[in-house]
Structure 1
Amino acid sequence: MKIGELLKSEFSISFEFFPPKSPEGEQELFETIKELEALKPTFVSVTYGAGGSTRDRTRRIVYRIHTETKLTVMAHLTCIAHSKEELLEILQDYKNIGIENILALRGDMPKGDFQAPKGACKYAVELVKFIRENFDNFFSVGVASYPEKHPESPNMEWEIRFFKEKVLAGADFSITQMFFDNSYYYRFVERCHKEGINIPIIPGIMPITNFSQIKKFASMCGATIPQSLVNILEPYAEDPEETTKRGVEFAIKQCEDLIANGVPGLHFYTLNKSRATLLIYQAIKHLIPPKVLSRLF
């Protein structure tokens, strides 16, 4: 199923996974997937490592989800380190095995003295155009968005401008970078609407289960951790159980507010764990709007 079409008729719940490095990690991941599959999410996605470092592992996990579960799966694809020939090969392979959804990303710049392959897609907008030019509408194409702007963007005007370019190139929907203050999301969506950007913008939710880890992630992607949240979590930084409890409580309130304000869905960054996401879902499931189609009869 194409995610762009599914978003027209239902509130989306989705989960993101990353490809494990070991057989043991893969087994644990599929135990997580089995638990979360019971929630009947709209889709799940699998990340792609910087510089294409997880190309084979991402493909393997995507294929296993596609063939071993009933889940709609989206493959992340970064372009900065691939030639167009490699991108064409990857995309054709996904088409051949029946994958209909791609999250088109530039990807993190590889460290060191990196030179992109000659003729490579250097930005996500170029990858979106490449997919549309070579596969027309076979794939539903998603892109990333940044309510607090991408770390490399000088300001929000710049951010909105380049986000709009991705939409005009053929993006069907967007998933945001994680954020912990909903006001950033609301202001971002309002600015997008003023610029005529009307694709679904799904908020990305990161349940906090490890405070030091989240601080590291937030600093890397430019996400603000409100001082009020720091005050809640800091006293329990060395207590995993209490951190998870407080982090889940915060995420529940965050999701409740987002749903009340009419978001098109919620995308959970699971870190390949199910417990926190399950707890949040159980607390908010009664608030999830029914499918649009069910309200027509």
Structure 2
Amino acid sequence: MTALSFETFPPKSLDASFHLWDTVQALSPLEPRFISVTYGAGGSTQALTQEAAQTLRKTSGLPVAAHLTCTGQSKSDVLRTASRFAASGISDIVALRGDAENGGAFTPHPEGYANSVELIEALAKMGKFNIRVGAYPDSHPDAASMAQNIDWLKAKIDAGASEAITQFFFEADSFLRFRDACADAGITAPITPGILPVANWKRAKAFADRCGTPVDVVTATAFDRAEREDRAELFALTHCADLCDTLVSEGVDALHFYTLNRPDLTLKVCRALGLVPAAAIRNVA
């Protein structure tokens, strides 16, 4: 059975809080390994992330992985946040360097961690967390080459991370080539593909541009045509299900979905893959 996990983002309003709760409730029957809660660029949602992660851990009964970055914070601030997570029962951390809030170049805090490797080493020394990290099948925008991109991932694993979760991608070959290159580089930790069900193609394309995720002409043309022909949701479902099915057929045993707090398309993809929610059997009168 393919293992599942889901990413959410912290709510910024009361209505959004209810929507997040509804999202987690809709996905929980799929028995996820964990639900992750993101950090905003520049640490902009730090308090919201803490509150959402702690509340979900307390009320949902599911394992919760809190994102933690070193952007805009001193080392003591970061470790204080980590200690709060541990005290609330959260033992899973997704440790990331983080991005500048204004979209500019990353600049370390004068009293902070210089990069994700330093952050991971500090969290590992605490001895309280299972640490996951990011990985980039199409290379991180700041990496000079794919080789350097893989070297950074190996350094993060060597620093104490147990698993990597990738940035989203549109073609299965992007992940499979990356997985093979990581294995050749001596990386033995699991690398879980990050999957983005495309509920809105225009937004997904803009997101891909910001992240440096390439979109080939065939894929872009197909999404554009589907929108013009008013069958965008059907095509998005088919594309995502085919992508996941290819990955599973190539030996991938875990998938991580970026839900954007909209569970419907993710649920449909999982059903298409045969990963249906667990349900109690009821007698029908």
Question: TM-score range, shorter-chain basis?
Answer: over 0.9
Which residue of 1 is the match for residue 267 of structure 2?
278
Superposition TM-score, scaled by structure 2 size? 0.92
1:143–1:173 CA contact under 8 A, matched in 2: yes
Q: Any residues of structure 2 matched to 1:41-190 within 5 Å, and which?
A: 41-111=32-102, 116-133=108-125, 135-136=126-127, 138-190=128-180
1:7-22 pair list within 5 angstroms:
11-22=2-13
1:234 equivalent among 224, 230, 254: 224
Give the alignment partner of residue 202 of structure 1, picking from 171, 192, 217: 192
- Name the CA distance, whole Å, in 1 between partners of 2:179 and 2:69: 24
Residue 203 of structure 2 corresponds to residue 213 of structure 1: yes
Aligned-residue offset at 1:286: 5.3
Residue 29, structure 1, aligned to residue 20, structure 2: yes
Q: 2:15, 2:275 → 1: CA distance?
A: 35
Q: Distance in 2 between matches of 1:114 and 1:104?
A: 16
Question: Are residues 35 and 199 of structure 1, via their aligned partners in 2, closer, same or farther at CA, if it must alter by over 3 Å?
Answer: same
Mapped to 1, the partners of 2:53 and 2:274 lie a distance apart of: 27
Per the TM alignment, residue 80 of structure 1 is displaced from its structure 2 partner at its CA by 2.1
Matched letter for residue 46 of structure 1: V
Aligned partners of 2:30 and 2:275 also within 8 Å? no
In the superposition, relative to structure 1, how do residues 286 and 69 fare at CA in structure 2: closer, same or farther (>3 Å)? closer
Partners of 2:168 and 2:208 in 1: how far apart? 8
Instruction: Please state whether the residue corresponding to 2:274 is helix, strand or coil.
Output: helix
How far residue 231 of structure 1 moved from its aligned partner, in angstroms, is 2.1
What is the identity, as a one-letter code, of the residue corresponding to 1:157? A
- How far did residue 114 of structure 1 move? 7.8
CA distance in 1, matches of 2:155, 2:239: 34
Q: 1:161 to 1:115 in 2, by over 3 A?
A: closer
| 1:169-227: CA deviation from partner (whole Å, max 9, x where unpaired) | 01100100000111111111111111110101000000011111011011011112222
By how many angstroms is 1:39 displaced? Answer: 1.2
Closer, same or farther: CA 153–113 of 1 in aligned 2, 3 Å: closer
Could you tell me which runs of 5 or more consecutive residues in structure 2 were left unpaired when the two chains were aligned. 277-285
The CA deviation string for residues 64-111 of structure 1, in whole angstroms up to 9 with x for no partner, is 110111211100011121101101110110111110000000001233
Contact 2:36 2:64 in 1 (8 A): yes
State the one-letter code of the partner of 1:110: E
- Residue in 2 that maps onto 1:251: 240
- The answer to whether the 8 A contact 2:57-2:64 is kept is yes
* Contact 1:200-1:264 within 8 A present in 2 as well: no
Between the aligned partners of 1:244 and 1:11, the Cα distance in structure 2 is: 24
RMSD: 1.7
- Give, in angstroms, the shift of residue 277 of structure 1: 0.5
Aligned residues of 1:201 and 1:264 also touching (Cα < 8 A): no
Question: Would you say 1:265 and 2:257 are equivalent positions?
Answer: no
Aligned CA distance change for structure 1 residues 286 and 23 (closer, same or farther; 3 Å): closer
The residue type equivalent to 2:65 in the other structure is: M
Please give the alpha-carbon distance, in whole angstroms, between the structure 1 residues aligned to 2:236 and 2:208.
15
Q: CA deviation at 1:115?
A: 5.4
Q: Give the letter aligned to residue 23 of structure 1.
A: L
Q: Distance in 2 between matches of 1:233 and 1:91?
A: 41
- The gaps in structure 1 that reach 5 residues or longer are 1-9, 288-297
Does the 8 Å contact 1:212/1:237 carry over to 2?
no
Instruction: Measure how far apart 1:238 and its partner are.
Output: 6.1
Runs of 4+ that moved beyond 4 A: 112-115
CA distance in 2, matches of 1:278, 1:115: 38
